[in-house]
Structure 1
């Protein structure tokens, strides 16, 4: 069932009552989460969301429960109704249907829905109505399990339909048992804005990162010139800070190139992504080392680090490396993967610990 909730909330429901913009491919194995945050993407006019559900596996025979997708349009992710629903027993998927079909029901201004993106016509009607009312689900039985496959495509035809869309998978538990069933499936997601694979808010990033890289590179070159021509003594901390600016310029340059390939191909090129992650990790480590050195007064007040300062480095540097690793895993993992939220929490916690650690010598 597809319907709108709280002004503009589009829901796609697949009900079985009796039974790396971007291009994503998410594997869910024995996943018991009631809500899975699959993807978040900002669409402009001409944007396309294509979703394929592949090999949704259930044991053969009667299965009681409701499973489906919900597409929620909001101003920003912070006001998504799922923040309130995630800890409650409420389920968006209320209607029941004994047929194996993807039913579409409109309750407000609805977007244009099709079986897949190849079936989107060249001329799109802008009338406020459902453009597709019933989408088929195929079923096949293998080794005692039923496998379901379906797909749907969403086309943003008008400026009124533009916005930030959040796609969720819903696993509503059996009303009798009250527990969610573990699901196994593959979800393939294709998102684009008229051939641009970046979300609406990310489109300026390739040019922005490239411009900022040039600015940092110019500042680093100017800094190098000043250090080399200075008649005053040059402290080693100044050289370390100059290296930090060069690393920042390289990190931004590789980040911009990485986003350019995501923009044009829908996925990054591994070589450029690795170069970005290496320079980003080095930049983060050098940044925190510089802050700690300045806080301890090294090279200004004292030229030798005390045992206390050395112990502080033994804490800060591994924490910063762990924070960068967590950030890289966050960037590389699918938003709907079970480990994604865990690494996000680890990243926030480690960043807070790093900030506390570098404040210690100052206090």
Structure 2
């Protein structure tokens, strides 16, 4: 049994690191559940950590008719740290003899047993338990339920879980140790984006109004949705830290998360195509990219809601995570195609229209934009994930800070490159550079 349970636990833990984990007060209902292991939550405890668990209406049923009563000691809740989990998985692989490793994960020396069903009062069916457990050693632990019964015995129960740290004043902090600075981080970046938006509005509506295009107004909308998303993210995290519940902030949070995602990819695609800067319309293939990305963002937002509002305790949670990652990967690839098409189009145009200097500057700008987009996507999808997995549980907020900082830098670079100015690189080119530009384009064509 241990050999089948440990890989499942390891998969749960890896996927849990991809999604932001927050400890809320959760009331869950399980009906005829036969899973050998269920992950409830991953939480970073300090020296004053506590786990509260309340079980009611516990019942156990066997799929085998007239089967003897199942041993209640084979069902229970336990905590395990990341380090102990890795060590347990390693030992199970290094010991091929099944007798050298316990048949039930509850018997493993690496787990911290909270209780098993022997302690239910009254015994199942109809059993209940209400207990509080103190975490003596600060670390990041995952709370699991294990079902080691043979023949896939099914468990039904209502579970209320609370995981929190105690502050110096005795109040509860429902955010993990590594997540505690996150509300302050979101507040700081909210203020930064509000200032950014104010500067952008001044540039587009006042200083360079005649040079502003439709894309610049859409970019202002992107900044607005980003700022509002951070506002509700900060509020959501703040109330979770105080009370364990988001107090209804989830609805606007997910709304602006969806709008931010759609506008983000739309702006990159439209800038990449040169819409309203180089041309007033989109080609058919560019419209198709938008028609693919926007519905995918709708599905991604649905997956995000499911992931955020439920948890690894539902059966399809890992699948929803995989759907979200797949859609995000597709969207990241899709936004690169319009930029590549624009670069190719500029190369072809430079051979026929006799405006070498202007085309060279456009080509250089789009190449720089392509590199900036690639760098941003690489950092936020790979480096940030690496920070989440390798950083100590006390410093999980570093990945949030890094992601938001790089995002802000990307916005600033993109907005600067395509800002509205009277002497924009698209429209005003020094004619004296024409010969040098023609020579550069010829040399590039020769190298290709």
- What range describes the TM-score normalised by the shorter chain of this pair? 0.7 to 0.9
Determine the C-alpha separation between the residues in 2 that align with 1:39 and 1:84. Answer: 24
Q: How many residues align structurally? A: 300
What are the residue-to-residue correspondences of 1:1-12 with 2, within 5 Å?
none
* Alignment counterpart, residue 192 of structure 1, candidates 148, 157, 164: 164
Q: What is aligned with 1:48?
A: 50
For the structure 1 residues 59 and 29, does the alpha-carbon distance in structure 2 shift closer, same or farther, using more than 3 Å as the test? closer
Please point out which of 51, 60, 68 is paired with 1:58. Answer: 60
Q: Work out whether 1:183 is the aligned partner of 2:160.
A: no
Which of 18, 34, 37 aligns to 1:35? It is 37
1:1-363 correspondence runs (5 A): 21-59=23-61, 62-64=68-70, 66-74=74-82, 79=86, 81=88, 91-94=104-107, 136-139=119-122, 146-157=125-136, 161-174=137-150, 179-194=151-166, 195-231=172-208, 233-270=211-248, 272-363=249-340
Q: How large is the Cα RMSD of the aligned pairs?
A: 3.1
Quickly say closer, same or farther: Cα 1:71–1:342, change in 2 above 3 A: same
Q: Work out the CA distance in 1 between the residues paired with 2:310 and 2:263.
A: 26
Q: Residues 47 and 68 of structure 1: is their aligned pair in 2 closer, same or farther, counting only changes over 3 Å?
A: same
Larger radius of gyration: 2
Change (3 A) 1:340 1:84: farther
Structure having the higher strand fraction is: 1
CA distance in 1, matches of 2:316, 2:90: 19
Pair 1:42–1:327, CA change in 2 (3 A): same
- The 8 Å contact of residues 72 and 80 in structure 1, kept in 2 or not, is answered as no
Distance 1:138 1:185 in 2: 14
Q: Check the 8 A contact 2:78/2:111 in 1, yes or no.
A: no
Deviations 1:166-223 (A, max 9, x none): 011111241xxxx422221122111111111111111111111111100110111011
Contact (CA 8 Å) 2:79, 2:112: kept in 1 or not?
Answer: no
Per the normalisation by structure 2, the TM-score is 0.61
Is the partner of 2:335 in helix, strand or coil? helix
Contact 2:52 2:132 in 1 (8 A): yes
- Indicate the SS of the match to 1:139: coil
Is 1:56–1:183's contact at 8 Å kept on the other side of the alignment?
A: yes
Task: Kindly state the Cα deviation for residue 134 of structure 1 after the two structures are TM-superposed.
Answer: 11
What are the ranges of 5 or more consecutive residues in structure 2 without an aligned counterpart? Answer: 1-21, 167-171, 341-448
Alpha-carbon distance change, 259 to 82 in structure 1, aligned in 2, over 3 angstroms: farther
User: What SS does the aligned partner of 1:338 have?
Assistant: coil
Task: Tell me by how many angstroms 1:259 deviates.
Answer: 1.2
Q: When you count helix as a share of all residues, which structure comes out higher? A: 2
CA distance in 1, matches of 2:117, 2:297: 51
Q: Which runs of 5+ in 1 are unaligned?
A: 1-19, 96-106, 116-132
- What is the CA–CA distance in structure 1 between the aligned matches of 2:43 and 2:296, rounded to whole Å? 31
| Secondary structure class of the residue paired with 2:25 | strand
